[in-house]
Amino acid sequence: MYKNQQHFIDELEKAGELIRIKEFVDPHLEIAEVVDRISKNTSSAVGRKALLFENTGTDFPLLINAFGSEKRMCMALGVKHLDDVAKEIENMFHFLFAPKKSVADKLKAIFLLQKISSWMPKEKKGRGECQQVVMKVPDITKFPIMKCWPHDGGKFLTLPVVHTIEPNTGIRNVGMYRMQVFGTNLTAIHWHMHKVAAGHFNEYKKLGKKMPVAVALGGDPVYAFSAASPLPPNTDEYLLAGFLRKKRVELVKCLTQEMFVPADADIVIEGYVDPNEEFILEGPFGDHTGYYSLADYYPKFHITCITHKKNAVYPSAIVGIPPQEDWWIGKAIERIFLALIKMTIVPEITDMEMPVEGVFHNLTIVKIKKEFVGHSQKVMNAMWGAGQMMLNKILIITDGDVDIHNYEEVARSVSENVNPGSDIYFSRGPMDVLDHACSEFAFGGKMCIDATSSQADSKKTETVNSKKNFSFSETDKDLLISDFSEIKGINFSLLQKGISVLFISVEKNRKNHIYELNEKLFSRKEFSNVKFVIYVEHKADVKDIKDCTWRFANNFDPGRDSYFAPVIFASEKCQGIGLDGTRKTKQYDDFQRDWPNIISADETTIKSVDEKWNKLFPFQNKQKASFIFSPSLKYKEQLYKGDAVVNE
């Protein structure tokens, strides 16, 4: 694997996966705007490439979008395909736990255990290359820390590998938690209540002790991946890193804290959190949901020492409206942890998919080998009780030959196999802290759609959709818009493909508006073949199904926003369902929480990057790089009045 981050950079460049940018680009908003254009574009010569900004106005270059494609994610993990790691894990566990019938098998098992032990992290004496330079006075502002979006609360470290220790057991946790800079030696540290580091913090608070924290930046790329991975509690992330790199992680002792960090890291920031100290107001922050996560109070991190290697490179990432670099990290996690889920929790799962529009926790699709009545519900309950899957909002379960990575096939399976009145299940439970649609903070509704066939399940209707060609025309669309002035757009492209899903954009103007509209629509003859209506707000682009799915999944609480309506479908009695993915307000929905705005670059930044674009990418592959328009040009028209918080 890689000796350090510079080795990874060199290999990316050799593979044609990295572009060096020598022109000055400001870490204040401009770098994020450049990366947003690159990460969402596949047609240009520079589309989705890793970028090394060599002129940041500081002594340190900035590496970003290093994980922003399947190829580079595979390079980081040292594999040809993302599924290779899962296959290796499955094969290893199956061999270890299978009966050993011969001496040769027993010797192979001993050899494999020895191999696993060689991947365990090792603490070594002396200093590492991460400590070649010691700042006389620690000053985190010396690094090119980015402000990514116009209404962010400040500058944020976005790829910090954060080390904490459980004080009673001494067990290490390595996680990834954003950090907002408040001064030369002070940041906030944003760990959610469900995270392991937050549990460590609570234990230090009980003991009345300061909590040592160490932050590593750079080094082998598997460190950042391991820190982001949802490993079981009390599992050392550096064991996963050692397994991925087939070489143990060497750790060195910090200079001012009783902590150990990777010797090959580019930058190490040492410090502590005092549990008895008042929290600091952190945020807002343009988050991976595509919306701002709003300001809240988090612990202060006091910096006691900063060290770095000579010629260190500062690693960063932006998140925002998908797709961004973090989606590829999530895709690798999905493929790798599918093996662990199958082996330890739900062995009947044969595949899993987390669509980018679902921003990880909002939407998950699984395929199972269905064998008995209630099998889907068994899987549903197991998934919602499995680690970070407890935060899942919408779970779709399929079986048979459905390719769950083909979303049209999944939609067709839902259309053909689901009677909304009997095949959709609801629950309530913990939700992601970033879920702004919950009526209660971090607690809300969950929905499971059982799109499996009736095979092996006598309780499930054999078919509720034998009709493949639905009658819905432009005339029907125009008539509905004429009869209902609040309807601003209708997308019936899936109906034309025989998939019973309709998208409607609505401008709400009264309480219970979507519920009442849904009742009226399902009573009309045009809806005799419609099972699912997904409502989005009028500012959303209803012509873009991907965008509608992203907006809907963010704005929807299944327990509160699902409306059933009787309908005659395919000559059988069946219930239709309306799913309300519009923005919720106090005025029309009795919603008491603040609602965040979507993320968009400001006009000044867009113009600045437009003007310097040709200087950033003068020639690629002996051709001038084509101009890439800002993705924010599409979304700025969808913004509501206000800053990070909507105020209209």
589 neighbors 640 (Cβ within 8 angstroms): no
Identify the residue whose tokens are 């899987």. 379
- Token pair belonging to 549: 């799915």
List the one residue out of 48, 74, 58 whose CA is nearest residue 24: 58
Q: CB-based contacts of 551: which residues, under 8 Å, 6+ apart?
A: 536, 537, 540, 581
CB 537 within 8 A of CB 586: no
Token couple for 485 = 């002035």
Close Cβ partners of 500 (under 8 Å, ≥ 6 residues apart): 415, 465, 470, 494, 529, 530, 531, 532, 569
Query: Would you please indicate which residues are annotated as catalytic (active-site) residues?
Result: 287
- CA Rg, the chain, in Å? 26
**Quick check: 371 and 348 in contact, CB under 8 A?**
yes
Segment 572-576 long-range contacts (CB within 8 Å, at least 24 positions apart)? 572/461, 572/464, 574/419, 574/420, 574/421, 574/464, 574/531, 575/419, 575/420, 575/421, 575/422, 576/420, 576/522, 576/527, 576/530, 576/531, 576/532, 576/533
Q: How far apart are CA 330 and CA 346, in angstroms?
A: 20
Distances (CA, A) of 499 to 403, 496, 519, 526, 577: 16, 7, 21, 15, 14
Query: Could you give the angle at the alpha carbon of 55 between the alpha carbons of 49 and 59, nearest 5°?
Result: 120
Look up residue 147 and give its DSSP letter: B
Peptide bond into 284 cis (omega under 30): yes
The residue type found at 174 is V
C-alpha 441: how far from its chain's center?
19
